[in-house]
Amino acid sequence: MSDHHQPLPVDRKLITPGVCVMLALVVIGASVAAYRFIFGLSSTTNLDQQHPWGLWIAFDVATGVALAAGGFTTSALAHIFHREHYHAVVRPALLTAMLGYTFVAIGLLADLGRYYNIWHPLWPTMWSPNSALFEVGICVTCYLTVLYLEFAPIVCERLMGDKFFAPIGSFLKAANAWLDKIMFLLIIAGVVLSCAHQSSLGNLMVIAPSKVHPLWWTPILTIMFLLSAIAVGFPMVIFESMFASWALKLKPEMEILSALAKYIPVLLGIYLGFKIGDMAIRGSYVYLVEGSVQSTMFIIEMLFGVIAPFVMLLSPEVRNSPKWLFIAALMIVLGVTLNRINVFLIGYQPLYPVKSYFPSIGEFAVSIGLVSLLMFIYRTIVTFFPVITHPGKARAK
C-alpha cells in the first residue's frame, strides 16, 4: 500500500435521518420476506407458471452480480497490472463486491422454493457440470470466500490496534502475515472466478432460445455478460465513490476517478462493438423497428446506457467534471441494470402467456429492503474500519 494514500475509518455519525429512512425500508422488506417464508411465494410475488423468474432473480441476483464487478476490475487494474495510483478505490470496491455477493445469496434465499437446500449444489453427488447455473453457483461461492479473505486484512489491521483485541493480537498478526503471503493468489483467483461466473450468468438464458427476444438472445450471451460486467466495473466504482463522498460529506477523489474514467470508453467500446457486430451477423436489427415494448427497451438500453455515456466519456471535460462524470457513470450503471432486467424479464417471452408479469409491491419491498440494508452495512463498516481514503487527511500526512 503506497503511504500517501492511507485508508482510515470515516469520522462521521452513523445514525442520521437518512439512515433512519434506510432502516425503515429494511424493516418493511424484512416483514414482507417473513410473510413470504410463512405463506409461500404466491402470497408475495406475481410469479406464475409462465414466469418462473421475476424481479428477485433479474435484479437481486443478476444485476447484483453485474454491479459487484467493480471488485474484480479494480483489483485487476491495481494489483495485477500494478496501476498503483488506483489503490484508493480498491478497498471500497472490494467492500461493495463482498457485500454485493453476500446480498445476492440472501436475495436468492427469498426466491428459492426450498431455500434450506441452497447448499445442495456444493454436495458432490448432486454436482451437475452440464448446468450453467451450477457453474455460476460454484464460482460465486468460491469468489465470495475469496472476497472475505481479501477483506480480512482490513479487519485484522483495525483490530490489531484495538486494546480490546490485544489477547488475540498475535493471532491477528500471524493471520495478517499469512494472508499477505497468499494475497497475490487470492487476487488472481478472484479475477478468474469473476470472469467465469459473469460469463456463465449470460449462458443461463442461452438454453431458452425460443423464449428470449432475439434482440438479446445470442449464442454469445456469455461474452456479452462478461464484457458488460467488465465495462460496468469502473463506472460502478466511480458512482459509489462519489455517492459515498456525498453521503459522508467527504471530498470526491476526482484525481483518481477522472483517471479511472479514461479506461471506460475503451471497455464500453469493446462491448458496444460486440453488440453491433452480433446484431449485424444475426440480422437482429430488423427487430429494432418492431415498435414493441422489447424493441423500445432495447433502444433505451443501448442509447442511454451505452452509446451516450461512451461518447460523453471520450471528452476530458466530462471526465474532469464531478457532476458530468457522476451522470455518465450512473448512466452506464443503469444501462447494465436495464440490460439484465431486459434479458431476464422484459425480453423473456413465454410460449403460452396467460398474463404479463410485473413485480408485486412485495417483490419491490424485498429488493429495496436488501439494497437499503447493504448500504447501511457499508456505511457501518466504513465508519469502523479503514476502507475509505480521505483526500484531505491523506494530503496532510
Partner 1 sequence: MAVSRRDFLKNLAAVGVGSTAAGGATKSALASEGPHVSENLMGVLVDSTKCIGCRRCEFACQEAAGFSPPPVEDFEDKSVFVEARRPYPRSHTVINEYANPATPEAPIYNKFNCLHCIDPACMSACIVSAFSKREDGPVVYEPNRCMGCRYCMVACPFEIPSYDYDMPLTPQVRKCNMCAHLVPDHQAVPACVKICPAEVMTYGKRSDLLKLAHEKIRNEPDTYVDHVYGEHEAGGTSWLWLSSIPPKDVGFRQFDTTAPPRLTEKIQHAEFKFFLPPMMWFGLLGAAMWLSKPEEEDPEPDSEC
Quick check: helix, strand or coil at residue 212? strand
Q: Are 89 and 4 in contact (CB under 8 A)?
A: no
- Closer of 169 and 278 to partner 1 (Cβ): 278
Which residue, 8 or 80, is less far from partner 1 as judged by CB?
Answer: 80
- Residue keyed to cell 430488423: 286
Return the half-sphere exposure (C-beta side, CA atoms, 13 A cut-off) of residue 100: 26
Q: For the CB of residue 170, give the shortest distance to partner 1 in the complex, in Å.
A: 29
Q: How far is the CB of 84 from partner 1 (least distance, A)?
A: 7
Residue closer to partner 1 by CB (options 288, 394) is 394
Measured from the CB atom, is 35 or 376 closer to partner 1? 35
Q: How far is the CB of 373 from partner 1 (least distance, A)?
A: 23
By beta-carbon proximity to partner 1, the closer residue of 18 and 52 is 52
Alpha-carbon distance 314 to 305, whole Å?
15
CB of 343 to partner 1, least distance (A): 11
- Taking the C-alpha atoms of residue 117 and residue 138, their distance in angstroms, rounded to an integer, is 14
Nearer to partner 1, 160 or 189 (CB): 189
Question: Shortest distance, CB of residue 139 to partner 1, whole angstroms?
Answer: 9
- Give alpha helix (H) positions in 283-360: 293-302, 308-313, 316-320, 322-341
Eight-class DSSP state of 78: I
Least distance in angstroms from the C-beta of 21 to partner 1: 31
Residue 261 makes CB contacts below 8 A (sequence gap 6+) with 234, 238, 313, 318, 319, 325, 328, 329
> In the complex with partner 1, which residue's Cβ is closer, 46 or 337?
46
Kindly report the number of other CB atoms within 10 A of residue 277's CB atom: 11
CB 60 within 8 A of CB 369: no
| Least distance to partner 1, CB of residue 17, Å | 37
Q: What phi and psi, each to the nearest 5 degrees, are found at residue 48?
A: -140, -175
Give dist(CA 187, CA 191) in Å, integer.
6
80 vs 96: CA distance, rounded Å: 19
